[in-house]
Amino acid sequence: MLKTTTAFLIFAFKLLLMTTAYSQDLSFSKQLFDTYDTYRESALTHRRFKQIDILPLIDQLKTDSRFEVTTVGESVEKRPIQMIKVGSGPRKVLLWSQMHGDEPSATMAIFDIFNLLRTDGPFEDFKKQLLAETTLYFVPMLNPDGAERYQRRNALDIDLNRDALRLQSPESRILKGLQQSLKPDFGFNLHDQSTRYSAGPTPKQATISFLATAYDQARNINPVRERSMQLIVGMNRVLQQYIPGGVGRFSDEFEPRAFGDNIQKWGTTLILIESGGYPNDPEKQFIRKLNYVAILSGLQAIATDAYKTESRSEYNTIPENERYLFDVLIRNAQIMRGGKPITVDLGINRYEVNVGHAATFGYRSVIDDFGDLSTFFGIEEIDATGLTLAPGKIHPQSLRSLADLKKYKLDSLVQLGVTTFRLATPSRATTHLSPIHLLQPTTTAVRPVQTGRIPTFVLRRGNQLRYVFVNGFWYDVSTGDNKLATGVVE
Ligand SMILES: [Zn+2]
């Protein structure tokens, strides 16, 4: 009896501990979420910032005695790679972002976190505890040469995340050197993933995905990896408040050449965070905020050991990342083939194309699939039941240059089904800002709509125009809903 009572008391105490951790988590993260705008770094407003944009922000930290800024090496093109240390606690945490130059969402969140740490306000108790219990090492931009070009790879055209063994890039040697010399207990490996991953076989985008990276082919779970799972369980619970059903689990297939896998193997508890897509957030500013909330909640769980009460089995309930999404899915369109109508769905994806020095971008959209796509979803969906797909009109006048477009009222033309202009002289541009499809002088004008082609066409009901598509963006003639964006040169 006594034994049973004691067992019950221990159970009740554990339960109490868990519920306390649980409620603390959510009220703390809610406070982070609600006060975010106070700490948001206003110098960063879009994804294509360069190292030159963050250097002054790092310089500011040098004037604050709590922060220690060191240059830990330089990139292939001699850009300094900097690390910011803050805190003096026994639990060491290394956080690195933008190993891939075109994956900057978490980089922005790191500067928001610095602002929280150096601004007086309602988080004093949290900060005191965090900086006493942990030592944080941030490398906000590991691949500045890639960021300069807004590309994944570094200036040697090497993917740093496949260079953990061969170490041919200075940036890879820096990261391995930091892991080996600091021997951090925890590592945050911060990336962006495709905006077209869904959380499970659903229409929900995986806005954030986590991975407790595997350290061997068999995907075994040792205490190092178990801690990753426990931390992720807590961060997932936090994020479900803001993106219910929008958290995914990245594939844990072992990649022997990747850093996450090796760092987990080298004994640092590794948490991969991937920023995906969120509706109407092309610059990922809401996703940046979610990174801020998730990372700080994770750090709090490390500082307080709260993650130890989490059950690792809950990790497996997070749905896996799946490929069920197109940017636009057109369902049940009729299309003429050999004089007969057939019914097809069209899966359209919009691909970003860097413009100039990668400071801005356009889109080139592609029909990536065609046929029965009833098992897929669209981030935007068009029901084309009863509608026939046909080519848009080509304007009778040719353009001498792109600048000639200024002479036309493009919106009114598009609303009449004019989708295309022909250029009289060749242009070197591949995208442009106006919502119109341009054909180079030698490009064939009318070709069948099929996979690999740029989605420019109209959808009609009989003779009545219903939708106009230009480069994968669309205008709804009956409602006036205008989603037209940038054009393309083909
Ligand atoms: Zn990446």
SS (H, E, C) 131-186: HHHEEEEEECCCCHHHHHHCCCCCCCCCCHHHCCCCCCCHHHHHHHHHHHHHCCCE
Give the pLDDT of residue 9: 53
Q: What is the mean pLDDT of residues 342-370?
A: 95
**159 Cα–ligand 1 center, Å:** 9
Angle at alpha carbon of residue 70, lines to 69 and 76, rounded to 5°? 130
**351 Cα–ligand 1 center, Å:** 17
Tell me if 138 sits within 8 A of 83, measured CB to CB. yes
* Helix, strand, or coil (residue 385): coil
**260 Cα–ligand 1 center, Å:** 11
**353 Cα–ligand 1 center, Å:** 18
**206 Cα–ligand 1 center, Å:** 15
**152 Cα–ligand 1 center, Å:** 7
**331 Cα–ligand 1 center, Å:** 32
**321 Cα–ligand 1 center, Å:** 15
Is 102 a residue whose pLDDT tops 60?
yes
**186 Cα–ligand 1 center, Å:** 19
**403 Cα–ligand 1 center, Å:** 37
Give the pLDDT of residue 82: 98
**99 Cα–ligand 1 center, Å:** 7
**33 Cα–ligand 1 center, Å:** 25
Report the C-alpha gap between 437 and 487 in whole angstroms: 5
Report the C-alpha gap between 72 and 308 in whole angstroms: 33
Least confident of 24-28, 42-46, 199-203, 360-364: 24-28
Tell me if 154 sits within 8 A of 145, measured CB to CB. yes
**12 Cα–ligand 1 center, Å:** 43
Report the C-alpha gap between 191 and 209 in whole angstroms: 10
For 362, counting Cβ atoms within 10 Å of its Cβ (0-12 exposed, 13-18 middle, 19+ buried), the class is buried
Is 16 a residue whose pLDDT tops 70?
no
**457 Cα–ligand 1 center, Å:** 35
Is 167 a residue whose pLDDT tops 60?
yes
Give the pLDDT of residue 450: 92
**471 Cα–ligand 1 center, Å:** 27
**What is the pTM assigned to this prediction?**
0.92
1 pLDDT tier (thresholds 50, 70, 90): very low
**192 Cα–ligand 1 center, Å:** 6
**274 Cα–ligand 1 center, Å:** 8
Is 446 a residue whose pLDDT tops 80?
no
